[in-house]
Amino acid sequence: MRSDYKTIAFDLDGTLTQHRTKLGPENRAVLDQLGERYHLLMVGAGACMRIFGQMNEYPIDIIGNYGMQVSRYDKATGRLVIVEDAHAPVDREAVTAACDAIRARHGFTEYAGDGVEFHASGMITFPLIGTKAAIEDKLAFDPDRRRRKAFYDEVVAAFPGYTVFIGGSSSFDIAPHPYNKLYALDRYCKQNGLSHRDILYCGDDYGTGGNDEQVYRSDIDFLPVDDYRKLGERLAPLLG
């Protein structure tokens, strides 16, 4: 880990917080220390405003929806300003049919709520136990991701115009090409006169199908954070 980075970029769930929980005081303090020396950037899978809320409105620029949405923090107003908001068309009938076929083959035909979630951006969530499943059921469903990894390639093949991620604890996140976190960071670098060498990315989801995988396999320096409670320990060389 070098000390001459210009930007430190972060994943959220599992890296800064527990899944879908608010940013805690310990990691907020880590961000405060880093922010004295580096520009901070969040690169997330969800929408910018949802991420901003989960981070207790921490003053940070946010790239959301795998790069489909870009926002800047306005220090004067304390608000997040959306500066880019891309949308992609989606064939809902074809997507629903593909998800139903996968469900039938693997026995996930009973679920709570909707079997597919269509987002305004054009992104898709394929929740195996449904959109209305209890949070405890979601967390217990596939904590080590083995159940979803067993047929991950099948889901990828069913969505050739998308990148498929093993998202959250019980679903697949499906983003239209070319959007992923590496694409988002590369575009950010080009827009801000940076090189990949200027970025350090911190993430936890870097295995097969993880939403940090593309960054992990790139030339951008990647700091694995396997436990969000140890973020400060992992970044200690930069905290001084």
pLDDT at 135: 87
Q: What is the pTM of this model?
A: 0.94
Walk me through the domains of the chain, giving residue ranges and CATH numbers. Answer: 7-86+179-239 (3.40.50.1000), 92-176 (3.30.1240.20)
Tell me the mean pLDDT per 10 residues along the chain, length 240: 94 92 97 97 96 98 98 97 97 98 97 96 97 92 94 98 93 97 98 98 96 98 97 94
Write a three-state SS string for the chain: CCCCCCEEEECCECCCECCCCCCCHHHHHHHHHHHCCCEEEEECCCCHHHHHHHCCCCCCEEEEHHHCEEEEEECCCCEEEEEEECCCCCCHHHHHHHHHHHHHHHCCCCCCCCCCEECCCCCEEEECCCCCCCHHHHHHHCCCCHHHHCCHHHHHHHCCCEEEEEECCCEEEEEECCCCHHHHHHHHHHHCCCCHHHEEEEECCCCCCCCCHHHHCCCCEEEECCCHHHHHHHCHHHHC
